[in-house]
Homo-oligomer: A and B are copies of this chain.
Amino acid sequence: MQSVNIGVLGLGTVGSGTVTVLRRNIEEIVRRAGRGIEITRAADRTLDKQRDYDVSGIDITTDAFDIVNDPNIHVVVELIGGTGIAKDLVMQAIEQGKHIVTANKALIALHGNELFAKAQEKGVTIAFEAAVAGGIPIIKAMREGLSANRIEWLAGIINGTGNYIMTEMRDKGRDFPDVLAEAQALGYAEADPTFDVEGIDAAHKLTIMASIAFGIPLQFDKAYTEGISQVSQEDVQYAAELGYIIKHLGIAKQTEQGVELRVHPTLIPHRRLIANVDGVMNAVLIKGDAVGPTLYYGAGAGSEATASAVVADIVDVVRALTSDPGNRVPHLAFQANALADTPILPISAVVTSYYLRIHTDDEPGVLADITRILGEQGISIEAILQKQPASHGGTVPVIILTQAVVEKNMDMAIQDIEALTTVKESVMRIRMESLG
């Protein structure tokens, strides 16, 4: 089957990430999509830019309309942003019968109603997973995964810059202007931070999520927006004393009177999972009447994280174009004839760190014996905790955290430790994972 040809409009942060991710993982992506996918053309502001990623074989032009009008392009990926030229390009591409993938939240929040009507008229689809919460597949989760539910409310940390600032204010006791200046220096915040810090970006995303949750047209102009610039260190500390953490949340709620749509600083009880989403990370908490609360967490911005959503949308479009409707998505994600024969490893071949609890007699030299045995198996020690004699029989619990080692070496070490005359009980071993 012929490959699907993609035209990418805009080779900035997300555009370069999209080219990079699609090319790096093309083998797995084709196994999933069931068809070749090729970025054949791209538009950029300038042609003589230095690029630190592979654009070989891509016809790059400065004339984005030329791509939109190209009959050989099947899917147009709009990554220019804003509501000016981007809107004209998308409208023209729809007019030409092309499917659209976009990461443009402002475009969808402000002009989505018009664009979707046009797309329906022309029988094409507009995919916009990347417009909300970057790489987190939140649109898909709400639109398909939770379709059984009446959504009661949702609340999201959907601006990474704002969350970075709030996290620094709490963790380091710093004030807003100080953290903002640093975020600007680090490139986390724009020179004009209004869009992020005053909640406009979050309101775009919230508007989109609310429409999907409640089945209402997009109404960005009705969203209430309040920024975080007025929150002081004093407030952060008083909130903490009272058991709360302040987050900049976008909240949409179905009430009997209507829909609440609001972005503002919010106190949340400190033990809630969403209160512990820190730094530039995003998370969305959704309350459905059947499923209860579910939460989705991940990177809300960044080149490859956003590209992850863009490319997933491309795969979605390609699957729809390609397969029979009943088997659009393969049962095991990859096409049935494309499963790999990678072996499953026996546990003895697995590499992890370990927690060991060893009850020994309270005699000199025991620890030396144990550390010698571990050393013989090439096992490095991360930490040792030697406790006071426990109640049962005067043995001393020795707790050891090790560095990573293959399990069969640990098996041998434990065998040797248990053979020591000073060790009377089996060694308790629990594997450790940093999950970082």
Residue on B nearest A350 in the bound complex, by CB:
B260
Between A258, A329, A433, A436, the greatest number of chain B beta carbons within 10 A of the residue's beta carbon is seen for A433
Q: Indicate if A56 sits at the interface (CB-CB under 8 A).
A: no
CB distance A137 to B148 under 8 Å?
A: no
- Give residues 182-205 of A contacting B (CB, 8 Å): none
Query: A148-B312, A291-B298, A336-B120 are contacts. A214–B342 as well, Cβ < 8 Å?
Result: yes
Contact, CB under 8 Å: B215 / A31: yes
Contact indicator B291/A305 (Cβ below 8 Å): yes
Closest-by-CB residue of B relative to A310 is B148
Task: Identify the stretch in A57-65, A77-85, A241-249, A362-370 within 8 Å (CB) of chain B at 4 or more residues.
Answer: A241-249
1/0 contact trace for A95-126 toward B, CB 8 Å? 00001000000000000100011011001111
Inter-chain contacts of A375 with B (CB < 8 A): none
Q: Is the interface of A mostly helix, strand, loop or mixed?
A: mixed
Are A148 and B311 in touch, CB under 8 angstroms?
Answer: yes
Of B126, B143, B310, which contacts A333 at CB under 8 A? Answer: B143
Contact of A235 among B239, B307, B357, B435 (CB under 8 A): B357
Q: Is A147 an interface residue (CB 8 A)?
A: yes
Q: Report yes or no: A141 in contact with B141, Cβ–Cβ below 8 A.
A: yes
Q: Are A246 and B312 in contact (CB under 8 A)?
A: no
- Which residues of chain B come closer than 8 Å to A297, judged between CB atoms? 273, 294-297
Which of A2-10, A43-51, A313-321, A414-422 lies on the face that meets chain B? A313-321
Interface extent on A, as a size class? Answer: 35 or more
CA of A137 to CA of B235 in the docked complex: distance in angstroms? 37
Q: What mask results when residues 213 to 224 of chain A are scored 1 for a CB within 8 Å of chain B, else 0?
A: 111111100111
Are A135 and B28 within 8 A (Cβ)?
A: no
Does A1 have its Cβ within 8 Å of any Cβ on chain B? no
Q: Is A170 an interface residue (CB 8 A)?
A: no
Q: Is A72 an interface residue (CB 8 A)?
A: no
Q: Indicate whether A234 reaches chain B with its CB closer than 8 angstroms.
A: yes
**Bound Cα distance from A304 to B330, whole angstroms:** 27
User: For A129, what are the chain B residues with a Cβ–Cβ distance below 8 Å?
Assistant: 145
CB pair A431–B215 under 8 Å, yes or no, is no
| Chain B: CB-nearest residue to A133 | B294
From 389 to 410 in chain A, residues with beta carbon under 8 angstroms from any chain B beta carbon are 390, 397, 399, 401
Contacts of A276 in B (CB 8 A): 273, 276
CB atoms of B315 and A144 under 8 A apart = yes
CB distance from A144 to the nearest CB of B (A): 6
Q: A268 to B320: give the CA distance in the assembly, Å.
A: 40
With A112-B332, A234-B357, A259-B345 already in contact, 18 other A-B pairs whose C-beta atoms are closer than 8 Å: A28-B215, A33-B147, A116-B332, A119-B331, A140-B145, A147-B333, A211-B332, A215-B340, A219-B344, A238-B385, A249-B433, A257-B343, A258-B343, A259-B344, A266-B433, A269-B436, A288-B308, A294-B297
In order of increasing CB-CB distance, the 10 nearest A-B pairs are A137-B145, A148-B311, A294-B298, A215-B334, A135-B291, A222-B344, A291-B308, A224-B347, A258-B343, A295-B297
